[in-house]
Structure 1
């Protein structure tokens, strides 16, 4: 890797979809609620189309979200981790030994105690479960955008994402099972949770790896990254937005009387984001990790794989549940909050060592 030069980096911009994702999510919330109120019978029919607790319309849309993201991950890059392990170890420590447990504590404190008189016991359990599911899934897709905006090392970001995805296959289900049961009191059927991991992680992950290998061999890396992947990005974003329309249509009755709940759910999520970002960033500085690794590591620790979280909450508790609502609130707040974390990283790059040759 070349050394950093003493020049001001060129301004970087997100795509139109990514930059205004919060706006699109808010619009989809409104459209979804409107559809749910005006067309209750068709919405009720869509809600019942499921196999093994998995809602098929939403499952299909979530597949269209997750599969393009998995195509970006190069698992061969995992072999390079031995060259600079400190950054990855810090990220894994926070993602798997701090983040889910601290979120369970925050959910328990805010929903089952501080906000309980406002939201009631049933909603408290559901919201606690939702934020735990959100925190147990480290970011996979949007972190590439955050890394780009902070001049992160793209190769090392791939390593961090790939290793987290592999750990998620084994760790996500038991963490969700035991934390949700302990913090919220809700029973989580392990077989249903395991099925959601297979459907929403293992299968699209395998399909992405196989497709990537095949197309790289046939067309080459330049065509794959510059022509093929950009075509799929609008598909993934469109699927996300349509999923949100369906979710909010399913929850229309609840949402018309519970707008305050959306703001309350956002409180522990915001605390969690800034806490984890600061913890990773501080540990990276303590261990003298270079900025190009520290910044994306902090962003991975702060953000969530909200597509998986939404799918899991729907599978476990239903598309009209409070748990599903809590995961969607994570989508709503993520973009503006993560942009603020990106700005903080860019402003403090001088705290870290320059890139080593």
Structure 2
């Protein structure tokens, strides 16, 4: 499977039907999920009930299927070229753990000053940095797979260590300093660690073992020419399945409150645009090549909506405005980041390759 829908006509002509019409399938999956959640009585609660420690098993299944093929493609013997790139690592940490949460806080208060529940939900979304679906966006845009693996692992560590503290700061301490209403957030590092283990740890270990065992027993040529093309399509099937389940869970809430969804969407649209464009500009300014700049941009713009929704539901309840804001997050993020994949591929055409910090684009 070619996971990068390149815009050049000769390449596009060789893409599979799934790849060529990816935006159509994603929009269809969202529509199916919303329609099912709205029209099938009890579907949302039934899906939501299949959970362990707040983690939806259907969503977890979809994400594991989605992430495994991409992580199986990672060349783990190249990771040292990423960990030695201090510009990339420092830029990612600053974007994800300083600028991202601060930007979402500012946008939430600026655009939702009269809607405290939605505002709080968006701030929680801003604190949950992406460790799952960003793998797909990065791969579709021909980003650096090894860099993506390192950056999502780095995000996962910081998520466990700092999420609760940042929640306390942005929902309680900072509003108090500014004379704004305060909110308490009750979430334990253990809950966050479980989310990280499920959504990143399992597919990462599976991908690493697949490459290690496959190359050792049958060779790298067999692994990359025979095995990876067979498992590759599972990534997009898993993505579409996840989208259907996610929107089925909250289909009724989303379709019954369209004006609220529109209000929540405004700061999210601004957030994704500013984070992605700003990260791209930063990557170019510090001399990163296309692949690593793309990885930096998508890992900074994406959010861990699974964690944000779980925290909002556990703290404020499944029918709360905070939970609705968390659900609207992927409703906006999915189509916007798919569009940005194509923007990235268009920018790739004229990119001047002045950096040698990463291998050439990885086609599969």
Same fold (TM over 0.5): yes
> What are the superposed Cα offsets for residues 36-66 of structure 1, whole Å, 9 maximum, x if unpaired?
1111313311211111111112212211112
Equivalence for 1:115: 112
1:179 is the counterpart of 2:174? no
1:89 is the counterpart of 2:86? yes
Equivalence for 1:151: none
TM-score normalised by L of structure 2: 0.78
What is the rounded CA distance, in whole Å, between the counterparts of 1:43 and 1:179 in structure 2?
A: 31
Query: What aligned pairs does 1:284-295 form with structure 2 within 5 A after superposition?
Result: 284=287, 294-295=289-290
> What are the superposed Cα offsets for residues 295-329 of structure 1, whole Å, 9 maximum, x if unpaired?
11111111139998233234333487222331442
Q: Residue 341 of structure 1: which of 328, 341, 344 is its match? A: 344
SS in 2 for 1:106: helix
1:100 is the counterpart of 2:97? yes
What is the rounded CA distance, in whole Å, between the counterparts of 1:195 and 1:262 in structure 2?
A: 28
The verdict on how the C-alpha distance between 1:196 and 1:346 changes in structure 2, with shifts beyond 3 A counting, is same
The question of whether the paired residues in 2 share the 8 Å contact of 1:28 and 1:241 is answered with: yes
What is the rounded CA distance, in whole Å, between the counterparts of 2:327 and 2:349 in structure 1?
A: 33
Equivalence for 2:174: none
Deviation at 1:140, TM superposition (A): 3.0
Deviation at 1:179, TM superposition (A): 2.9
1:278 is the counterpart of 2:273? no
> What are the superposed Cα offsets for residues 98-149 of structure 1, whole Å, 9 maximum, x if unpaired?
23321212211111222333xx11111112212332457794343233237x
Equivalence for 1:324: 327
Equivalence for 2:122: 127
Query: What aligned pairs does 1:130-169 form with structure 2 within 5 A after superposition?
Result: 130-134=125-129, 139-147=134-142, 157-169=144-156
Equivalence for 2:72: 71
The verdict on how the C-alpha distance between 1:276 and 1:19 changes in structure 2, with shifts beyond 3 A counting, is farther
Equivalence for 1:303: 298
Q: CA-atom RMSD, angstroms?
A: 3.0
Equivalence for 1:6: none
TM-score normalised by L of structure 1: 0.80
What is the rounded CA distance, in whole Å, between the counterparts of 2:54 and 2:357 in structure 1?
A: 49
Equivalence for 1:260: 262
SS in 2 for 1:188: coil
What is the rounded CA distance, in whole Å, between the counterparts of 1:167 and 1:65 in structure 2?
A: 20
SS in 1 for 2:135: coil
Task: Tell me the number of residue pairs that the alignment of Structure 1 and Structure 2 aligns.
Answer: 325
The verdict on how the C-alpha distance between 1:353 and 1:218 changes in structure 2, with shifts beyond 3 A counting, is closer
The verdict on how the C-alpha distance between 1:168 and 1:63 changes in structure 2, with shifts beyond 3 A counting, is same
What is the rounded CA distance, in whole Å, between the counterparts of 1:246 and 1:144 in structure 2?
A: 22
> What are the superposed Cα offsets for residues 165-184 of structure 1, whole Å, 9 maximum, x if unpaired?
44234223224333334334
Deviation at 1:277, TM superposition (A): 0.9
> What are the superposed Cα offsets for residues 240-262 of structure 1, whole Å, 9 maximum, x if unpaired?
11211121111122211234146
What is the rounded CA distance, in whole Å, between the counterparts of 1:275 and 1:246 in structure 2?
A: 32
Deviation at 1:11, TM superposition (A): 5.7
